[in-house]
Chains A and B, each alone.
Chain A
Amino acid sequence: MIINHPLLGPRDASEFVYKGDVALIDRPDGMETSLDEMHDYLHLRDNPAGEHQELWYHEQGDRSWLVVTRNTLTHEITNVTLARDVARARGRSR
């Protein structure tokens, strides 16, 4: 696979480490989080057969975490963005 890094251009996927569903960004922080919320965040995945947004880490590159939109049936990649930007857009900050 080739991941088209938004800053570095196409790179072989073997330079990257895969983590999984982009929802892992949405960690329920804070003391008032319930065990169930935390359980669901960590364990339950949509696992779609089709378009999937997922986290990849450019370990053998610039160490950026990326959000890759990839079809799990065809492996076609339609979008790649820096995860930091996605995280901010999803409301994460400090």
Chain B
Amino acid sequence: MRFSALKILREGLTGNRGWTPMWREPQPKPRYKVLIVGGGGHGLATAYYLAKEFGETDVAVLEKGWLGSGNIGRNTTIIRSNYLLEGNQPFYEFSLRLWEGLEQDFNYNAMVSQRGILNLFHSDPQRDAYVRRGNAMILSGADAVLLDQGELRKMCPFLDYENARFPIQGALWQPRGGSVRHDAVAWGYARGADSRGVDILQNCEVTGFRIESGTLKGVETSRGAIEADKVVVCAAGSSSRVMALAGMRLPIESHVLQAFVSEGLKPIIPGVITFGAGHFYVSQSDKGGLVFGGDIDGYNTYAQRGNLPVVQDVCEGGMAIMPMIGRARLLRMWGGVMDMSMDGSPFIDRTHIDGLYFNGGWCYGGFKATPASGFCTAHLLATDKPHPTATQFRLDRFRRGAPIDEKGAGAQANLH
């Protein structure tokens, strides 16, 4: 079914009775060419691009819960390509370009909204670092604008320019950054993949891998054994657990990132704003809620919930730059489990087991990466070569001494 305004009109006039399911609920087949473990954003996007771009439709997505129940269903929806390093920036710019055409591509309005992202800076060295970053962005074909305080004031009159502990000097602005309705991304990809023949198997948990003399043969699941030529694990948050079933240890720790949304408010915040002297970022959803977050709690966990000190830290950051939000109320807080890698950057790579591929380590940057991650993973599966924008996301990069360490924090997962 193709969605359009006309379709809505017709359905509205006939009682909205003619809608059909967005995806099938198929039974698992005994064998597929490709299995994708994880029915979140990255897994569904991989399936979609495999089918659409590489013509591979003998594919199943195995999701232990309901589709989109992982981090695609619990994030703060920001898209941007404002990275510093050569290993990252072209990939995220590729992703942003895919976002820009996504809705027309999969005929679903995920509300990709490029209202801009502002990274505030508070000191001269920080400004210099943002200049370096902005230049790197432009060198990789992205957009970046350096705003001084006067220009920033025009865009955000509500920031605390007078009384801030760390004065707001200006911002690095990426006008093409923004936000997306996150659930709709999962739904749109699922619909697009399903309509091309991909089986999305919900409530289907992988419980083991069948590996014979270094070659992958298939997986065991809660819905029976399934054979496959290739299996890719896209289960960020649970990567270590799933890959441990294949006997692998990863340079990844699981951490919880809390996120917050306020009660609905009339529009007041133009785009995404990030604090440069503390842990806080915020945007305002189309419904009017302030969607915000900050740092991870900082300890290994698989519990999708955090603790109060980080809630306080995040709200302190918010009040530090925009004291008008003091009377806005925090409506909901939740936590998502992150794959925190040892350098803060992800992996899209083959493993030492023939036929087993890995996509993970997204830290808290996974949402914005969804389209490119899916595309590049599909590329790797289909061609056995990394996509040109994802050549550095290798599992052996620490062994070689080539971390992609944006923050310069070293091999300490919770500092990235």
To the question of whether A and B form a pair in one complex, the answer is yes
- List the interface of chain A (C-beta within 8 A of B): 1, 12-14, 18-21, 35-36, 39, 42-49, 52, 54, 70, 72-75
Whether B413 lies near A20 (C-beta < 8 A) is yes
The answer to whether the Cβ of B334 comes within 8 Å of any Cβ in the partner chain is: no
Q: Which residues of the other chain, B, contact A14 by a CB distance below 8 angstroms?
A: 309
CA distance A18 to B414 in the complex (A): 8
Tell me if B252 is interfacial: C-beta within 8 Å of chain A.
yes
Assess the B307–A73 pair: CB atoms within 8 A.
Answer: no
* Known interface pairs A43-B398, A47-B254, A49-B302; 7 further A-B residue pairs with C-beta atoms within 8 A, sorted by A's residue number: A18-B298, A18-B299, A19-B412, A20-B412, A45-B413, A54-B299, A70-B299
Contact at A47–B253, with CB atoms within 8 Å?
yes
| B411 CB contacts on chain A under 8 angstroms | 42-43
Contact, CB under 8 Å: A43 / B251: yes
Residue of A19, A20, A44, A72 touching B250 (CB-CB under 8 A) = A44
**Residues of the A chain whose Cβ atoms lie less than 8 Å from the Cβ of B252:** 45, 47
Contacts of A39 in B (CB 8 A): 398-399
Asked whether B241 is an interface residue with its Cβ less than 8 Å from the other chain, the reply is yes
Q: What are 14 A-B residue pairs whose CB atoms fall within 8 Å in the complex?
A: A13-B307, A18-B298, A20-B413, A42-B411, A43-B251, A44-B250, A44-B251, A45-B249, A47-B253, A47-B254, A54-B300, A72-B301, A73-B302, A73-B303
| Residues of B within 8 A of A (CB-CB), count | 24
Using a CB–CB cutoff of 8 Å, the interface residues on chain B facing chain A are 238, 240-241, 249-254, 298-303, 307, 309, 342, 398-399, 411-414
B414 touches A20 (CB 8 A): yes
> Residue among A44, A45, A46, A54 with the most chain B CB within 10 A?
A45
Which residues of chain A are near B249, meaning CB under 8 Å? 44-46
A64 to B391, CA, bound (A): 42
Give CA–CA (A54, B253) in the complex, Å.
12
A46 to chain B, nearest CB (A): 7
> Shortest beta-carbon distance, B256 to chain A, in Å?
10
Given A36-B399, A39-B399, A54-B300: A47 touches B240 (CB 8 Å cut-off): yes
Chain A nearest CB from B329 CB (Å) reads 23
| B328 vs chain A, min Cβ distance (A) | 24
Nearest A-chain residue to B312, judged by Cβ: A14
- Docked complex Cα distance between A14 and B226 (Å): 46
Complex-state Cα separation, A14 to B303, whole angstroms:
18
Contacts of B254 in A (CB 8 A): 47, 49, 72
Q: Compute how far the CA of A45 lies from the CA of B298 in the bound complex, rounded to whole angstroms.
A: 15
Nearest chain A residue, comparing its CB with the CB of B241: A49
Asked whether B413 lies within 8 Å of A1 as measured between CB atoms, the reply is no
Given A20-B413, A44-B250, is A13 in contact with B300 using a C-beta cutoff of 8 Å?
A: no
| A43/B342 contact (C-beta < 8 A), A13-B309, A72-B254 known | yes
Cβ of B399 and Cβ of A72 under 8 Å apart? no
Interchain CB contact under 8 A, A20 and B253: yes
Q: Which residues of chain A are near B412, meaning CB under 8 Å?
A: 19-20
| Given A20-B412, A20-B413, A39-B398: A45 and B302 interface contact (C-beta under 8 Å) | no
A14 to B295, CA, bound (A): 14
Q: Which residues in B have their C-beta under 8 angstroms from that of A52?
A: 300
Alpha-carbon separation in the docked complex, A43 to B345 (Å): 13
Contact A72 B300 (CB under 8 A): yes
Among candidates A1, A35, A42, residue contacting B307 with C-beta atoms closer than 8 Å: A1
CB nearest to A52 among chain B residues: B300
CA A13 – CA B313 in complex, angstroms?
A: 14
Q: How far is the CA of A49 from the CA of B399 in the complex (A)?
A: 26
> Which of chain A's residues have a CB closer than 8 A to the CB of B302?
49, 72-73
- Residues of A within 8 Å of B251, CB to CB, are 43-45
Query: How far, in Å, is A13 (CB) from chain B's closest CB?
Result: 7
Residues of B within 8 A of A73 (CB): 301-303
Q: How distant is B307 from chain A, measured CB to nearest CB, in Å?
A: 6
